A and B are shown apart, each in its own frame.
Chain A
């Protein structure tokens, strides 16, 4: 990746994140972990919405499946093997995405939004109504997995500092993967589909397999994010698949700015910051329990006034100054 002025803030963020565990309080270190995991989640949706132009309102399903697989396959007596857990989470979210994508990509526009939402809700009810994952109470994950080869433990994710850097590396890898995907022939094809699908078809691209591939890759990355989330909290419940979660991740990418990978990361940061701000009892006192009211108003105002997101702010201001 070329280093230019635009990637500078991102590199500074990376350095800050790498140094943070040594001077940050524990509460904020945990918060940074949460932001990094949500960044992976937002990046995965950015591939779908920003790069391919498919607005999915059911992305939380794949996040949740990844998390549930991690919790369900971890034994209660000791750490599971990482080499089983992660591939299983990837496979489960990928297979569900293949089925959902194959069906929902037959539709477009408003239909696609509603159909993806409905399929996510279906997954929600599987975990909510049946005893598969402990019903609405959720289940616990007692031990974080060990990354080992033979008898040699490479990384013990149970250690907080190791876990922190593990998440950071996962985020960087996701970012680099998506950045190289964007520059590949596959990524160009997705961009072509976003801009004008008819023309792509006329140019000889079978667009359906491309869209399906993007859908499955995005879902698997969301599965990774969910997997990490389960390891972080040691607890999963059906609410992480709920449509509010799908709304939240869409919100993150639009907060940051659709159409750029950096935007997804900035959006995740902004979203968590907003949540922390409105939930803060120090600032809002007893009104803090109604934090969704200011959040809702902020969402409306933000989308109305800054549809380009934080990334687009400078262009927007420049255009206004020129006009």
Chain B
């Protein structure tokens, strides 16, 4: 493997890892703060990708298109959707056993997948990247790298930074962190915990939807695309430690590297390597790299 190929694979690994981080960070926050195991989180990623596919022509017809307009519309819709879903469904799960949470969110996956099948059908669709991002950047003498993938990484890094600032530097972030470590105490201090949960959930959904929307031009959209992302995100959360956004970031990059280079060096065993990584980490640290609260 020469240097240019190695570089390209590194960029791919980072891009994949960062994208996973968007999904896994929402998942880990929802686990850590509300104590809910949400199998339907992968569906939000799927919904995001299908939104990128379905909203683009709609936006094109009404306001003359625009990639960022579509993205913004999708995000607004997803926040509203997440808020309503928490109010109408997830808020009933908090007091229940894990097993019941598993089954009810599993039922939700089936509902989302079939609604997708009814509304959009079961075909695979491509999604076009915006023109100004569809070129490629030269890398070395002969190799090039698609600009859009760099764009994905840039968006993810911006979101990660934003997430850090919100969690570590704002009043809302303080309440979220406090809510994660002691629910009752925060409530006693006069914080509206129900509203806090709703906000956290809506942001979690928005992160997964954003991941799906920006990934769609690279991955195209297809049935059951949420399932795979869900399980890899679980692995990320397990490695990183439940509730830890920092852990999720480190674990996503680790999983991205292992998966990408695994596919290069051991194409047959690539699917298994990520789980082996998880097994090794579990032997070493059963509670993940960064355990919170």
Contact = CB atoms under 8 A, between A and B. Distances in A.
Given A251-B103, A254-B99, A254-B103, A293 B110 contact: yes
Interface in A275-309: 290, 292-293, 295-300, 303-304, 307
A125 interface: yes
Nearest to B103: A303
Nearest to A125: B271
Interface stretch (B60-68, B133-141, B198-206, B233-241): B233-241
A229 to B, nearest CB: 21
A295 B286 CA distance: 36
B289 to A, nearest CB: 13
A299 B100 contact: no
A111 B100 CA distance: 15
A299 B102 contact: no
Contact of A114 (B96, B237, B279, B283): B237
Nearest to A121: B231
Contacts of B237: 114
Interface stretch (B10-18, B111-119, B174-182): B111-119
Contact of A106 (B31, B242, B276, B286): B286
Given A296-B107, A303-B103, A117 B114 contact: no
B92 interface: yes
A49 B96 CA distance: 16
A87 to B, nearest CB: 26
A172 interface: no
B112 to A, nearest CB: 8
Interface string A27-57: 0000000000000000000000100000101
Interface string A80-123: 00000000000000000000000110110111011101110110
Nearest to A106: B286
B109 A243 contact: no
Contacts of B231: 117-118, 121, 243
B283 A296 contact: no
Contacts of A307: 96-97, 100
Contacts of B117: 290
A49 B107 CA distance: 19
B108 interface: yes
Nearest to A132: B268
Contacts of A111: 238, 242, 286-288
A166 to B, nearest CB: 32
B114 A296 contact: yes
Contact of B270 (A109, A129, A304): A129
B173 interface: no
A17 to B, nearest CB: 27
A241 interface: no
B86 to A, nearest CB: 15
A109 B243 CA distance: 14
Contacts of B109: 296
B240 to A, nearest CB: 12
B143 interface: no
A178 interface: no
A297 B102 contact: no
A290 B117 CA distance: 8
A176 interface: no
Nearest to A108: B286
Contacts of A113: 37, 98, 102
Contacts of B118: 290, 293
B124 interface: no
B110 A299 contact: yes
Nearest to B237: A114
Contact of B102 (A129, A250, A295): A250
Interface string B268-293: 11111001101100110011100000
A136 to B, nearest CB: 11
A130 interface: yes
A118 B227 contact: no
A148 interface: no
B25 to A, nearest CB: 16
A301 B267 CA distance: 43
A313 B161 CA distance: 51
B278 A118 contact: yes
Contacts of A212: none
Contact of B111 (A117, A125, A131, A297): A297
Contacts of B193: none
Contact of A107 (B107, B108, B287): B287
A298 B104 CA distance: 10
Interface string B75-92: 000000000000000001
Interface of B: 31, 35, 37, 92, 96-100, 102-104, 106-111, 113-115, 117-118, 227, 231, 234-235, 237-238, 242, 268-272, 275-276, 278-279, 282-283, 286-288
21 contacts: A110-B37, A114-B238, A115-B238, A118-B234, A118-B235, A119-B279, A129-B269, A130-B269, A243-B227, A250-B106, A251-B103, A254-B100, A258-B99, A290-B117, A292-B111, A293-B115, A297-B111, A299-B104, A300-B104, A303-B103, A303-B104
Nearest 3 CB-CB pairings of A with B: A125-B271, A296-B110, A299-B107
Interface of A: 49, 55, 57, 103-104, 106-107, 109-111, 113-115, 117-119, 121-122, 125-126, 128-131, 243, 247, 250-251, 254, 258, 290, 292-293, 295-300, 303-304, 307
Given A115-B282, A296-B111, 15 more contacts: A55-B99, A107-B282, A110-B31, A110-B98, A110-B242, A111-B287, A113-B98, A125-B272, A130-B268, A243-B227, A247-B103, A250-B106, A254-B103, A296-B106, A304-B92
